[in-house]
Amino acid sequence: MPTTSSFEYAVVRVVPRVDREEFVNCGVILFCLERDFLEACVELDSVRVRRLWPEADLPLIEAHLQAIPLICAGAVGAGPIGKLSRRERFHWLVAPRSTVIQLSPVHAGLCEDPRRALEALMDRTVRLPAQP
């Protein structure tokens, strides 16, 4: 029987107008210390963002969103933050901020496979259900 591990995650949100506090969920960051796992998946629904704010700078938002998986991976293009430990990178990413890219509070869960848990969270919190 596979063993379960605890994990922490936060939902990545685009807040096109911070003063209105409306947001579109567009990704998930998942950290599992026991499995030495830190990954993010982001998918920007530009139509939903434009409905909240037609003047949103989508190319800039997309560029900032694409930095999140790079930081999680500790990639070369992640800058000095990418050189931190996985735990430090996770906590840096989920720190509260009042910008166009924000994170939900950190939640916890249990999983057998962090990658499958990340995909399940994307399906549950980011992707819209298929319309009949």
Q: What is the pLDDT of residues 39-67, one digit of tens each?
A: 999 999 999 999 999 999 999 999 999 99
Q: Does an H or E element contain 12, and which?
A: strand 5-14
Main-chain phi, psi angles of 96, to 5 degrees: -60, 140
Q: pLDDT value at position 122?
A: 98
Give every residue of the chain whose pLDDT is below 50, as ranges: none
**Beta bridge mates, 102:** 13
Residues above pLDDT 90, as percent of the chain: 90
**What are residue 37's DSSP bridge partners?**
32
Burial zone of 130 (CB within 10 Å; 0-12 exposed, 13-18 middle, 19+ buried) = exposed
- Measured N-to-C along each axis, helices 58-73 and 86-94 cross at an angle, to the nearest 10 degrees, of 150
User: What is the pLDDT, as a whole number, of residue 129?
Assistant: 87
- According to the model, what pLDDT value does residue 1 have? 60
